[in-house]
Structure 1
Amino acid sequence: MLETATAQRLPVRFAGEGAGTEELTWGQRAAWGSMLINGEADWAGGTMPLRDGQTVAELAALLAAVMGRHQSLRTRFRLDEAGQPRQSLSAEGEVCLEVVEAGDRDPETVAEAVRERLETAPFDPAEDWSVRWAVVCRDGVASWFVALYTHLVLDGYGIEALTADLSDATAADAEVPGVPPFEQARRQRAATARRQQAASLRHWEQHLRTIAPERFPSVEAPAEPRWWDVSYDSPATYLALHEVAARTKVHSGTVLLAAYAVALARVSGDPRTVLRTLVSNRFRPGFREAVAPVAQSALCVIDVTGQTFDEVVATAFQSQMSAGLHAYYDPRELWAMIERVGAERGAAIDVSSYFSDRRRSFATYPDDLAVSPEDVARALGRGRLTWGRRSDTPDTTCFLLVNPVPDTIDLTIRADTHRLTPDDMAGCLRAMEEIIVAAAFPDASA
């Protein structure tokens, strides 16, 4: 833990166009609902080294500029008289840039400790800004940078949009890209958005009426605390995945989704795996460059019955494509529909299993990468399983994260041990490696 004396809070004033209150956007409302369930905000961001010559003063000026340019970053969330959340946009204010002196410690290590501390610090959405920046210095020279944003104001693709805009952030006359949250909320009340929502809800309801309400049997002696994390780093999957994706002509994330579907079917005993995937919605007009949360979850149903793995990949691709077109809706109406259909079927319907590929640019393979069966076989011994946090904070049934780590496939499962045992969780990750490795060179001799 860092000594508090090593950190200073530098006040940064900002000002920008626009002020007032408005309904939440659908993306904001999804993040708000998640925060209420988990009891804490979800943060996105990370750490990065700074280029030589960047100063604390320059980073403070950049923070003031981005806060002023982007309405989402100047937005807080307050309850109205009816107890409903509203987005509250400020025209001006003050945010703090934390400056930490590393001393004789490694700045990268210090930056990671700062990130963890900022991510777990208390957050009041009505009073606090959803932006936490810090600079780690060595002997007064800026060395590492920490930036975090709650999902109330940015999703992962929104961070990419913000990063792309940083080169223009200090140009006062540069046009701000994308549709800001106030305008999004207004568009989502219009007839076009309501028609898109109706189509999305029909897609969900068709599946909700046919899937098994509960796919995982109860565990007789569940572990404590209830929710566990386990990660598996697999260089062999990285190499084998390149071959399977090239042969099946799909994105490598689709292959991982297919392998996850097969592995979960083995655990649950139900050949129809039901997963929520995250859809960026950036293909919608004005959303590609929006510095705002616009991603929402879509429902994929992948039936692996009697299929080869290549056929499961094709099924996963079709399910992804259909789901991606039906991930634009008011979460309140979806939540009500899930409850209504469950009541009509006489059983609550569990749709809280997720798949999220967070690799972005790390999903791209080198053009000259050549992989042989021998390469994959040698890499098999380098897989590494690591147990992570354990918590009683309410969470999903199971959530697979594909982490942004270069030159490997790094997977994390967070699961409810009342539904999947720790052995099930570890077995699922190892099964994904086994499935993809076996599919990489189907004609190779054993």
Structure 2
Amino acid sequence: MAEPVPGTILGGARMTDRVVVPFEGAGAGAGGLTWGQRKVWTLMQQAGTSMSMGGAVPVTDGRTVQDLAAELRFFMCRYASMRARIRTGADGGPVQEVAGSGQAVLGIVDSADGADPDLAARELAERWEATPFDHAEEWPIRMAAVRSRGRVTHVVVTISHVATDGGGIAVMLRELGERDPATGQPAGPAPATGPLELAALQGAPSARRQNDVSLRHWERLLRAAGPRRFGPRVDRGEPRYRLGVFTSRALHLASRAVAARTGDSTSSVLLAGYALAVARLTGISPMLIQVVVSNRFRPGLAGVSHPLSVNGLFMVDTADATFDEVVDRTRRASALCSKHAYYDPAALDELRARIDRERGEVVETSCLFNDRRLDLGVEPPGQVPPSAQELADARAVSSLRWGKPFPTYLDKLMVQVGAAGDAVELEIQVDTHHVSADEVHALMLDLEAVVVAAALDPDTPTGLSAAQVEGMLARESS
């Protein structure tokens, strides 16, 4: 297969210079997509984007263009998914062709004297994010150096979601940092399970049995659930699809306190709070939520870079319980959700269509939760819980800000958990024709309130409103 070498235009953006980066690696061949890739590919086609990940990162350690070219070469040589092109197969479906060698290009953007290189880097990152990959002709990673007066100030990287996910990027960055400083060679052997190898394994009888078990879990919950998660659509004008970010130090402090007391992770605490808050918003319980699960805990998949995160199905009853009891229910339901989040997405689509036909209604599953933090272990016991005054002070600076709207969005509500220093950062993606911006704000305050109340008193009723929690904090602080 001939390897086209891009010119001064990379990913639709004009470069002032370039470095051609030759590479070679294992896992070459052609075959089908993995389950994770197929799920992402379908979502990408529906959304009309590459669902890319990456951005602009300042370079403050003196790395040069040659250093960044070496990093690009490391990614291309080590990870087969970075060397995969996706084309249409004989049956009309997608197939991937992994190259054993070829050339990539590190673009270079020179910021004009007196111009802001940070602005140039951000503009490039935004342009690349908005420009879908040509997966049949383009490698699924774009990388460029931004220079100012001859010095590298930023590196910009954009990777198509079909080539990796958040856990895969974490693997890549960790292994990049573990390279031998003298030779640049990786610290360990290359992953044995590339995308072609995993796609073959997922066609084996053992994987098909796992698929069948997972689908039985989905079927049981889908048949038990009511059809709706939210009310009917209300046209609230534009922008319809919005992105919000709720930043809360109070959630960070309170979730750690509850997790330490219950012997759980903060992820379980936040998922329990989310389920309870949405149940209170909608009046629907048990809550049915799609939870993003990384399958890297499965044997042989810990060091895999290509996408392994898929949606698991989670159901929890939030009624007639203390918050600690809801956390315990969440932990047990989450274990089942993760166990059964390994399946053929085409088979799941067939199952869901059959259940909808038999029920005579569509079972909506458009409420999602994704904890993107990497360190999600159980909190150690014996921690000193935060005082009421500390929690009140932290709540006073919680904030919700709205970002750039989406042109389209496939679900109705999704909350993604991240960390922002000593605060929890909740990214909310919402279809405001089903959940209004005001309801999102109330939901965030309610989520924060129930976790803060539980941090103060394990026997606090879960029905307390945000205003009642404020009063409780004021009384406890006085």
Q: Does 1:214 pair with 2:214? A: no
The answer to whether the aligner puts 1:133 opposite 2:143 as a matched pair is yes
The CA deviation at 1:79 is 0.7
Structure 2 unpaired stretches of 5+ = 1-12, 459-472
Which of 197-206 and 135-144 deviates more?
A: 135-144
Question: How many residues are paired up?
Answer: 443
Q: Which residue of 1 aligns with 2:436?
A: 421
Contact 2:251 2:452 in 1 (8 A): yes
Give the alignment of 1:248-263 within 5 angstroms: 248-263=262-277
> Is the Cα–Cα contact under 8 Å of residues 223 and 421 in structure 1 kept in the other structure?
no
Query: Structure 1 residue 393: deviation in Å?
Result: 1.4
Distance 1:238 1:389, change over 3 A: same
Identify the residue that residue 40 of structure 2 maps to in structure 1. Answer: 31
Report the 3-state secondary structure (helix = DSSP H, G, I; strand = E; otherwise coil) of the residue aligned with 1:282.
helix
Report what 2:447 is aligned to: 432
1:4-23 matches, cutoff 5 A: 7-23=16-32
Residue 404 of structure 1 is aligned with which of 414, 419, 429?
A: 419
1:403-442 superposed Cα distances (whole Å, 9 cap, x missing partner): 3322111112112223212211121111111111111111
1:360 is matched with which residue? Answer: 374
Alpha-carbon distance in structure 1 between the residues aligned to 2:427 and 2:377: 16
CA contact (8 A) 2:288 2:313 kept: yes
Any conservation in 2 of the 1:362–1:405 contact (CA below 8 Å)?
no
Residue pairs, 1:192-203, within 5 angstroms = 192-203=206-217
Moved more, 236-245 or 274-283: 236-245
How far has the Cα of 1:107 moved from its partner? Answer: 4.6
- Whether 1:240 aligns to 2:249 is no
Are 1:219 and 1:421, in contact at CA under 8 Å, matched by a contact in 2?
no
RMSD (Å) for aligned C-alpha atoms: 2.5
Deviations 1:135-192 (A, max 9, x none): 2333222233232222211111111111222234832895202411111011101111
Quote the residue 1:60 is aligned against: 69
Q: Deviations over 1:320-360 (max 9, x none)?
A: 11100001111000011111101100001111221011122
CA distance in 2, matches of 1:305, 1:19: 53
Distance 1:291 1:60 in 2: 20
Equivalent residue of 2:224, what SS? Answer: coil
TM-score, normalised relative to structure 2:
0.86
Partner residue of 1:302? 316
How far apart are residue 195 of structure 1 and its match? 0.8
Q: Give the Å deviation of 1:51.
A: 5.0
Unaligned runs of 5+ in 1: none
Q: Tell me whether 1:183 sits opposite 2:197 in the alignment.
A: yes
Tell me the amino acid that sits aligned with residue 134 of structure 2.
D
Aligned pair partner of 2:122 in 107, 112, 127: 112
Percent identity between matched residues is 36
Deviation at 1:104, TM superposition (A): 3.9
2:266–2:376 contact (8 Å) kept in structure 1: no
The one-letter amino acid paired with 1:58 is: D
1:404 partner SS: strand
| C-alpha contact 2:229 2:365 (8 A) present in aligned 1 | no
Q: Where in structure 2 are the equivalents of 1:257-296 lying within 5 Å?
A: 257-296=271-310
Q: Does 1:146 align with 2:156?
A: yes
CA contact (8 A) 1:362 1:406 kept: no
For residues 77-96 of structure 1, the aligned pairs below 5 Å read 77-96=86-105
Amino acid at match of 1:227: Y
C-alpha deviation, 1:377, in angstroms: 0.9
Out of 163, 169, 174, the position equivalent to 1:159 is: 169
User: Is 1:381 the counterpart of 2:396 in the alignment?
Assistant: yes
Cα gap change, 1:146/1:365 in structure 2, threshold over 3 Å: closer, same or farther? farther
Residue from 325, 338, 342 that aligns with 2:356: 342
Native 8 Å contact 1:178 1:288 kept in 2: no
Structure 1 residue 212, shift from structure 2 partner: 0.7
* CA displacement 1:83-142 (0-9 Å, x = unmatched): 100111112222221223344455555433332222112322211211111223332222
1:205 and 2:224 matched? no
The Cα shift of 1:364 comes to 9.7
Question: For the residues of structure 2 that align with 1:389 and 1:426, how far apart are their CA atoms?
Answer: 17
Name the aligned partner's letter for residue 45 of structure 1.
Answer: G
Whether 2:90 is the aligned partner of 1:75: answer no
Secondary structure, counterpart of 1:289 in structure 2 = coil
